[in-house]
């Protein structure tokens, strides 16, 4: 289950996958998943809610996930029971425990969007290879900075994704999914930001490593720190008032993004 410390009181989004005994993914469109949520600090026998999860390909035909919207009434120890089945086969159940926190370092729905001064095409004389590791970048995603979009009261979708240096291997597919949908929303600004500090050398962007730790790691960029991101990719939706109205870690479904954008138009 993916949360990266982002499970907090109130509405939350669960992103889960299923693995077999050999750690191979068994998540697939024909496998159903329902999730029963338990507040273990109060009543470990009665679920607070039960929801059906929606399947989505993270990487088409290779890696699948299930997405579900749930609500946590308070911080503390919670549990989930996953019930899964393929067709008429007998259902299997999996249980796990996890912590729900009072707050998260990640910018939350309802928070003002940080006015990050993100790179744009104008800052590199139109050479997108100097600010994006996307092999087929959409120029529209690099026309406006977050700071300028907020100042102009433009609704926008912000994608933190690095196709070349992504630890989760999910950045490219998630960015491609958002790019494919952007044309349907000409009145919404779309912005892609590399989450790590990169420098252009030897003809391409290369990471600037943090050598203060052993072994050295990728260095988080300023906007990444400002938004409190602990993983990648992330997609945020921001309305004309500069308030975050949508927040999606890792994988995003078309229906999720459609609904989030429709709400700010």
Domain boundaries, given as residue ranges, for the chain: 10-100, 121-262
| pLDDT, position 1 | 64
Please give the Cα distance from 122 to 141 (Å, whole number): 12
* Segments in the chain below pLDDT 70: 1-5
Q: Is pTM beyond 0.75 here?
A: yes
Q: For residue range 148-191, what is the model confidence (pLDDT) as tens digits?
A: 999 999 999 999 999 999 999 999 999 999 999 999 999 999 99
| pLDDT, position 2 | 56
Q: Which residues pair with 244 in a beta bridge?
A: 238
CATH class of 121-262: alpha beta
| pLDDT, position 207 | 97
| pLDDT, position 249 | 95
The listed CATH number (3.30.160, 2.40.50, 3.90.1460, 2.60.40) that belongs to domain 10-100:
2.60.40
Q: For residue range 113-135, what is the model confidence (pLDDT) as tens digits?
A: 999 999 999 999 999 999 999 99
Phi and psi at residue 61, to the nearest 5°: 75, 0
| pLDDT, position 4 | 46
Q: Which residues pair with 158 in a beta bridge?
A: 191, 236
| pLDDT, position 58 | 94
Structure tokens, 169: 């291997």
Question: Cα(first)–Cα(last) distance of the chain, in Å?
Answer: 32
Radius of gyration of the chain (CA): 19
Identical topology for domains 10-100 and 121-262: no
Please give the Cα distance from 104 to 142 (Å, whole number): 28
In sequence order, which residues have a C-beta less than 8 Å from that of residue 144 and are 6 or more positions away? 120, 152, 154, 156, 189, 191
């Amino acid at each position: 289950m993916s949360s990266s410390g982002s499970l907090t009181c109130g509405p939350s989004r669960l992103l889960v996958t299923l693995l077999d005994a050999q750690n191979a993914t068994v998540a697939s469109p024909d496998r159903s998943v329902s999730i029963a949520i338990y507040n273990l600090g109060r009543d470990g026998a009665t679920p607070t809610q039960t929801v059906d999860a929606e399947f989505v390909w993270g990487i088409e035909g290779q890696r699948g996930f299930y997405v579900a919207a749930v609500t946590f009434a308070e911080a503390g120890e919670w549990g989930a029971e996953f019930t899964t089945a393929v067709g008429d086969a007998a259902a299997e159940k999996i249980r796990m425990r996890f912590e729900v926190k009072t707050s998260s370092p990640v910018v939350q729905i309802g928070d003002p969007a940080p006015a990050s001064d993100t790179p744009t095409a104008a800052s590199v004389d139109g050479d997108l290879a100097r600010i994006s590791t996307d092999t087929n970048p959409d120029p529209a995603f690099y026309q406006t900075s977050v700071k300028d979009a907020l100042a102009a009261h433009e609704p926008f979708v912000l994608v933190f994704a690095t196709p070349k240096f992504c630890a989760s291997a999910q950045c490219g597919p998630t960015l491609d999914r958002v790019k494919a949908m952007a044309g349907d929303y000409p009145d919404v600004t779309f912005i892609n930001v590399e989450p790590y500090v990169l420098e252009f050398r030897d003809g391409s962007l290369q990471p600037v490593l943090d050598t203060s730790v052993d072994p050295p790691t990728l260095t988080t960029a300023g906007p990444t720190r400002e938004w409190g991101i602990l993983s990648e990719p992330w997609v945020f939706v921001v309305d004309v008032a500069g308030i975050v109205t949508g927040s999606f870690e890792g994988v995003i479904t078309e229906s999720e993004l459609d609904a989030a954008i429709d709400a700010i138009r």
